[in-house]
Amino acid sequence: MSNVVHVVSVPRLAETGKVTQARVALSEWTKLHSLRSTRWSLVVAVILTIGLPLLFATVVGTHWAHMAPRERANRHPLDIALAGVNLSQLAIAVLGVLIITGEYSTGMIRASFTAVPRRLPVLWAKLGVYAFVVLVLAVPSVLLAFWGSQKILAQHHILQISLTHPGVLRSVLGGAAYLVVLGMFAMAVGAIVRNTAGGIATFAAIFFVVPPLMNILPTSWNNAISKYLPDAAGRDVFSLTHGPHDLAPGPGFALFCGYTALVIAIAAVLLVRRDT
């Protein structure tokens, strides 16, 4: 060791690999599970998806004896089984926005784009990893919600429906599929807006504000337009029955996926073009 300069030496790296889509996906998986906020959001989404149907089934079961025939007719076992999806979609959407806007608000995006300067692999990896995680959590959650709520209702000998009944399995799994695509939609909105509050507000406007506003329109217009909105189109896949003004599950879900693809395409173009 010399008397003046204390030598700091950086250990050499044997070899560095190239950036590949698979490696970026692994990196995004690390980013996803290493944040407390993501873990909590996902736990909350699972609890809501399973817990709410169990709660509703218990309430309906215990009150069934006191319910009027008309009220009983309005109760549908699938509405109960998928009640949680309506609430957990909020957690999934907020997390989808946050995964990307969190990088912008903290400056992490600069590190991400320095490591992957082509940028698009980061977007694909985020979308893919998040969709996969939501799928893996949502499928067992909706199945558990279905079986659990059916078990509770069975104790009261009411509202029994079989998974093999036409459309039931499609509806139950449709609830999971809806959450998966919704998460990607929200993430793409986040990538476009690049700001957490703005991203969540934009998402909420599209899914929760615009649909009720349609009621202001003349009924014929409302009926003609509303079914094509992202929210309504997405819901078709987890509704067992479809009214005259709804799209069928297949076309509805396809349209919902189409909207999502469009938003993702806009996000991708902007991601490459904009300064960071």
Partner 1 sequence: MIEARGLTKDYGEKRAVDGLDFDVRPGVVTGFLGPNGSGKSTTMRLILGLDAPTAGTVTLDGKHYRDFAAPLHEVGALLEARSVHTGRSAYNHLLALAQTHGIGKRRVNELVDLVGLHEVARKRAGQFSLGMGQRLGIATALLGDPATLLLDEPSNGLDPEGIHWIRNLLKSLASEGRTVFVSSHLMSEMALTADHLIVIGRGRLIANTSVDEFVQRASGGLVRARSPQAMRLRELVTGPDVSVESGEPGVLEISGLSPQQVGEIAAAHSIVLHELTPMQASLEEAFMELTREDVEFKAGEVAADEEGAA
* Residues within window 6-45 making contact with partner 1, judged by CB under 8 A: 6-13, 16-20, 23-24, 26-28, 30-31, 34-37
Binding positions for partner 1, 177-236, rule CB under 8 A: none
* Nearer CB in complex with partner 1: 6/70: 6
Element (H or E) spanning 27, and its range?
helix 21-33
> Which amino acid is present at 171?
S
Spatial distance between the Cα atoms of 256 and 239, rounded to a whole number of angstroms:
14
The candidate with the shortest Cα–Cα distance to 263, out of 193, 201, 174, is: 193
Shortest CB 2 distance to partner 1, Å: 10
Tokens of 224: 């003609």
Rg of the chain over Cα atoms, rounded to whole angstroms, equals: 23
The distance of closest approach from Cβ of residue 141 to partner 1 in the complex, given in angstroms and rounded to an integer, is: 25
User: Which amino acid is it at 166?
Assistant: P
Please list every residue from 155 through 174 that binds partner 1, using CB under 8 A.
none
Among 47, 58, 86, 113, binds partner 1 (CB under 8 A): 113
Angle at 203 between CA 264 and CA 223, to 5 degrees: 95
Instruction: Determine contact, residues 164/172, Cβ cutoff 8 Å.
Output: no
Instruction: Tell me if 118 contacts partner 1 by CB under 8 A.
Output: yes
Give 10's DSSP letter: P
Q: Using CB under 8 A, which of 62, 72, 74, 108 touches partner 1?
A: 108
What is the full DSSP assignment across 137-199?
HHHHHHHHHHHHHHHHHHHTT-S---TTSTTHHHHHHHHHHHHHHHHHHHHHHHHHH-SHHHH
- Candidates 2-10, 230-238, 243-251, 255-263: pick the segment binding partner 1 (CB under 8 A): 2-10
Q: How far is the CB of 31 from partner 1 (least distance, A)?
A: 5
Instruction: Look up residue 36 and give its two tokens.
Output: 């407390």
The yes or no reply on residue 5 touching partner 1 (CB under 8 A) is yes
CB 32 to partner 1: min, Å: 9
By CB under 8 A, residue 75 contacts partner 1: no
Task: Determine the Cα–Cα distance for residues 254 and 261; give it in Å rounded to an integer.
Answer: 10
Going residue by residue from 234 to 273, which x/- string records binding to partner 1, judged by CB under 8 A? ---------------------------------------x
Among 164, 212, 216, 275, binds partner 1 (CB under 8 A): 275
Nearest to 53 by CA among 161, 145, 138: 145
Identity of the residue, 64 or 113, whose beta carbon is nearer to partner 1 in the bound complex? 113
Q: How many residues bind partner 1 (CB under 8 A)?
A: 43
Which positions lie near partner 1, rule CB under 8 A? 5-13, 16-20, 23-24, 26-28, 30-31, 34-37, 102-103, 106-118, 273, 275-276
